[in-house]
Chain A
Amino acid sequence: GESVGLHLPTLSVQEGDNSIINCAYSNSASDYFIWYKQESGKGPQFIIDIRSNMDKRQGQRVTVLLNKTVKHLSLQIAATQPGDSAVYFCAEDQMTTDSWGKLQFGAGTQVVVTP
């Protein structure tokens, strides 16, 4: 079946640098994408979302880019801080009747921020 996956399982970033986390999706019908952050022992926390009619969306220190041509999603974190260390998941929603509410999650990327 269709799936969402991540290019890199672990990303090591120096404090203050920018981080880029990548996500490939295979279902061109997907209309809505979300990035979640999960700290150890906690539930996923919403970071930012984007709909398929956009190619870029910015939040506080985060930017999500969507390239529908190559079915690629990325999360950019500016000036990475120690508190950004976590596992980051991308998720997609196909927004069809059969798939309603069924977010498909990638396996996650572990981001480690080093001093």
Chain B
Amino acid sequence: NAGVTQTPKFQVLKTGQSMTLQCAQDMNHNSMYWYRQDPGMGLRLIYYSASEGTTDKGEVPNGYNVSRLNKREFSLRLESAAPSQTSVYFCASSGASGGAETQYFGPGTRLLVL
């Protein structure tokens, strides 16, 4: 049982390049989330998916798109990367599909945009 996995672990992009961050969970959770974490700050929600087939914006969605590919996988896409998107990105999942539930996090993807 791997929990939440993320790929890649590290990535360097040039301004304007695009990339997709992958996330998968094997806990049969309904809900999945993408967060970003900047130095000295807590996590901020980018997008979430309450259940397969649904996605919604979080606190900081601008510059990102998401796809809930199936129940296991939730990807985050940067269409045109900007230096302000340099951050550590975490994917999380929880069992709830409409209510508070503990979220379990992946190991993160460290992104540097030059």
A49: nearest chain-B partner, CB-CB = B102
For the complex, is B83 an interface residue (Cβ under 8 Å from A)?
no
Q: Tell whether, in the assembled complex, residue A102 and residue B99 are in contact, meaning their CB atoms are under 8 Å apart.
A: no
Please tell me the size bucket of the interface on B. Answer: 20 to 34
Cα distance A96–B87 in the bound complex, in angstroms:
29
For the complex, is B104 an interface residue (Cβ under 8 Å from A)?
yes
For the complex, is B11 an interface residue (Cβ under 8 Å from A)?
no
| Contact residues, A68-111 vs B (CB, 8 A) | 89, 91, 93, 95, 100-103, 105-108
Q: Tell whether, in the assembled complex, residue B59 and residue A95 are in contact, meaning their CB atoms are under 8 Å apart.
A: no
Q: Tell whether, in the assembled complex, residue B99 and residue A95 are in contact, meaning their CB atoms are under 8 Å apart.
A: yes
Task: Select the residue from A31, A42, A51 with max chain B CB neighbours within 10 A.
Answer: A42
Cα distance A28–B4 in the bound complex, in angstroms:
32
Q: Tell whether, in the assembled complex, residue A43 and residue B106 are in contact, meaning their CB atoms are under 8 Å apart.
A: yes
Please tell me the size bucket of the interface on A. Answer: 20 to 34
- The dominant DSSP class at the B interface is loop
Q: Tell whether, in the assembled complex, residue A103 and residue B105 are in contact, meaning their CB atoms are under 8 Å apart.
A: no
Residues 10-43 of chain A: 1 if any B CB is under 8 Å from the residue's CB, otherwise 0? 0000000000000000000001101010000111
- Known contacts A102-B48, A102-B58; is-contact A44 B90 (Cβ 8 Å): yes
In-complex Cβ contact of A100 among B50, B59, B105, B108 (8 A):
B50
Give every chain A residue within 8 A of B103 (Cβ-Cβ). 34, 46, 103
Q: Tell whether, in the assembled complex, residue B108 and residue A32 are in contact, meaning their CB atoms are under 8 Å apart.
A: no
In-complex Cβ contact of B48 among A43, A91, A101 (8 A):
A101
In-complex Cβ contact of A93 among B43, B100, B105 (8 A):
B100
Could you write out 19 A-B pairs with CB less than 8 Å apart?
A31-B100, A36-B105, A42-B107, A43-B105, A43-B106, A43-B107, A44-B90, A46-B102, A46-B104, A49-B102, A89-B43, A91-B42, A93-B100, A101-B31, A101-B33, A101-B96, A103-B43, A105-B44, A108-B41
- Residues of chain B touching chain A, judged by Cβ–Cβ distance below 8 Å, are 4, 31, 33, 40-45, 48, 50, 58-59, 90, 92, 94, 96, 98-100, 102-108
